Structure 1
């Protein structure tokens, strides 16, 4: 599976795609794409914040977009509604329906989208799929992504676990 069937990502072009799926059990019936979208920004481990701070310092030299101050992100998250057009740090909400939210950003080297898709949100057994697609805009984008791909993989896998840990409560 690269991009899930029925995903909003089906209409996007990309050079790279990866997808991570986790099935979990939860009695919660109030789950939707907004819940998952907000958890994406609040359930990551502390090492991830340090990694993004380092990334911001390095890419700033190359004139790439950064996620801004991690301390102000917590304040922004309180008011975040996960609506198309909203921005939180480096991530802008591009599209959304009841089960899925698409976040990402466009930059001079590459464009990326992250799909947070929650299948069967009202069932006892649920499925969370996080899919990332990347469109390279130039050679630097390919080189950049090749360098960060191992970190990307670790971050996304950790994000899936963190989000599910919160959803199972």
Structure 2
């Protein structure tokens, strides 16, 4: 099952990561004995994702710009730097939390690396808290793509080359 991405029941402390989150899901991939930490796993997902996800992100940025929504991580607090456009909010070798708060919604991505040395796995958890009609509409519009995008991005943890 190494390399197979599967949806799992989320297992994060929602109140600590993003209190009041209305949406949460999680996906896991087994990485075997691969030696990588949470930052490397998140970097492989975000920066080495499939090219078609880059096209979706460009389209998203064009569509949301008239609404004044964030199209990059600029201006967002990033105590641990950025991975792509995502500000890293906290980090240990086993867990990285990235995301930001915006006018329409707040979101977090949590990358967890766990398991014994020969049987490691990475879990990516997404949490979203909407603030208004725009946030709820935005979340509804991206949901058909979300699971497909996350599954594809997580597949790049095992096979990062583009």
SS of equivalent residue, structure 1 residue 161: helix
Give the distance between the partners of 1:88 and 1:34, measured in 2 at CA.
8
> Which ranges in structure 1 are unaligned for 5 or more consecutive residues?
69-82
Worse-matched range after superposition: 45-54 or 83-92: 83-92
Over the aligned positions, Cα root-mean-square deviation in angstroms equals: 2.2
Between the two proteins, the alignment pairs up a number of residues equal to 148
Moved over 4 A (4+): 7-10
Runs of 5+ unmatched residues, structure 2: 1-7
- 2:13 is equivalent to residue 19 of structure 1: no
In structure 2, relative to structure 1, the CA distance for the partners of 1:88 and 1:126 (3 Å cut) is closer
Q: Which residue of 2 aligns with 1:41?
A: 46
Q: Paired residue for 1:161?
A: 155
What displacement does 1:108 show? Answer: 0.3
Q: Which of 121, 126, 132 is the matching residue for 1:132?
A: 126
| CA distance in structure 1 between the aligned counterparts of 2:15 and 2:160, rounded to whole angstroms | 28
Q: In structure 2, do the counterparts of structure 1 residues 130 and 96 end up closer, same or farther at CA, with 3 Å as the change threshold?
A: same
1:101 corresponds to 2:106? no
SS at match of 1:152: helix
- C-alpha contact 1:9 1:115 (8 A) present in aligned 2: no
Deviation, 1:54, is 0.5
Q: Secondary structure at the match of 2:103?
A: coil
Task: Tell me the TM-score normalised to structure 2 length.
Answer: 0.81
Which of 144, 149, 160 is equivalent to 1:150?
144
Measure, in 1, the Cα distance between the counterparts of 2:42 and 2:84. 13
> Structure 2 CA distance, aligned partners of 1:48 and 1:136?
23
Shift of the alpha carbon at 1:124? 0.9
Give how far 1:88 is off. Answer: 4.2
Structure 2: distance between partners of 1:52 and 1:41: 11
TM-score normalised according to structure 1 size: 0.78
Residue 79 of structure 2 is aligned to residue 84 of structure 1:
yes
Higher fraction of helix: 1
